[in-house]
Amino acid sequence: MPFTLATWNINSVRLREPIVSKLLTEEGPDILCLQECKSPVDLMPLEKFAELGYGHVVARGQKGYNGVAILSKLPIQDAGDMDFAGLGHARHVAGRLENGVVIHNFYVPAGGDIPDREKNEKFGQKLDYLSDMRDWFRGSRPEKAILVGDLNIAPREDDVWNHKQLLKIVSHTPVEVEHFGAVMDAGGWSDVTRADIPQGLLYSWWSYRAKDWDAADKGRRLDHVWASADIKAAAHSSRILRGARGWEKPSDHAPVFATFDL
DNA sequence: ATGGTCGTCGCACGA
C-alpha cells in the first residue's frame, strides 16, 4: 500500500496551526511528523487536525521548547521514545503502523553557535545525542523502519549554499557530518531524499534573519527522511515544499515529503 | 566582520 509521509519543523504548533492545517488540506500526506512543537501535548491543537482526518496521533511535548508529534490518517500505535544524551527533552517519539512499519520522529539538538564542546556545552550535547543514536541503532538494527526529522545537520556540500563558508558553522562542520554518518552506518539507513534527488542544491531551511530568503537562497538541508535497508527500494517521489517557507507567518523550515510503496 | 529574526515566557534564552 503506497503512503506519503512528510516531516516539518513547525516552530510552535500552536502559533502555526493554520499553516499545518493548510498543508494537511492542500497536500494530504498520510502522515505528518512535526518537530519543535513547543507545547505540552495537551495544549497542542490536535482537535483541528483530527477534523481534517488526522485522528491518530503519537506525540511528546514539553512547555516552551522541543516537542515532536506524528499526525496520521492511518492507525498508529505509540512505540515509545528515547531520551538520548540524558537531556530530559521531548526530542523523539516512535509510532508503529498496522503493516509493522515503525516511524521514528527526531528533533536533534541544534548545538549552539560555537562548534567546540569545550567552549559550548550545547555542541557537546549535540554530538553526544548523535553518538547515543548511533549506539542504539547499532544495538538493534532497524527493520521496516523510517526515520525522519530535523537532524540539524546538512551533510553534503550540495546541502548548503556555500560549503567552504559553512565548514566552521554549526550544522555543517566535519565533526557533525562524521557523527551523522556514524548514525546512518550503524542503522544501515539510507538517505531517501538524496536517493530520489541525487543532483543539485537542496535545502529545507532558510534563516529568518535573511532579508529576502527566497532571492538570497542561503539555505541548508537540515530535515531528512531515511529508510532502513530492507525498505529503501520502496521509497520514491521525494520533494521539498519550498513554497511553504513563503506562507503567512512561516516556519523557517519547509516540509520534506517522501512516498513509500509498502 | 557583524548583525540580522523569530517564539516563548514574561526577561533572557534558544534557534
Query: How many residues are present in chain A?
Result: 262
* pLDDT tens column, A154-186: 999 999 999 999 999 999 999 999 999 999 999
* Confidence check: pLDDT of A34 > 90: yes
pLDDT of residue A16: 98
Strands (E), chain A: 2-9, 31-35, 56-60, 68-72, 76-78, 92-97, 102-107, 145-150, 190-191, 205-206, 219-220, 223-227, 235-240, 256-261
Query: Average pLDDT over chain A, rounded to whole?
Result: 98
* Separation of first and last alpha carbons in chain A: 5
- What proportions of chain A, in percent to the nearest 5, are helix, strand and coil? 30, 25, 40
The model's confidence at residue A211, banded by pLDDT at 50, 70 and 90, is confident
Q: Which residue is nearest to nucleotide B15 (CA to C1')?
A: A110
Q: Return d(Cα A34, Cα A25) in angstroms, integer.
A: 16
Closest-CA residue to A101 (of A79, A84, A133, A120): A79
> Å between A113 CA and B11 C1'?
21
Q: Annotated binding site for Mg(2+): which residue ranges of A?
A: 9, 36, 150, 152, 252-253
From A56, A104, A150, A224, the catalytic residue:
A150
In the block, cell 542504539 appears at A136
Question: Active-site residue A253, yes or no?
Answer: yes
Q: Is the pTM of the predicted complex or chain greater than 0.75?
A: yes
Q: Which domains does chain A have, with CATH numbers?
A: 2-261 (3.60.10.10)
Q: Annotated binding site: which residue ranges of A?
A: 9, 36, 150, 152, 252-253
pLDDT of residue A224: 98
* pLDDT tens column, A79-113: 999 999 999 999 999 999 999 999 999 999 999 99
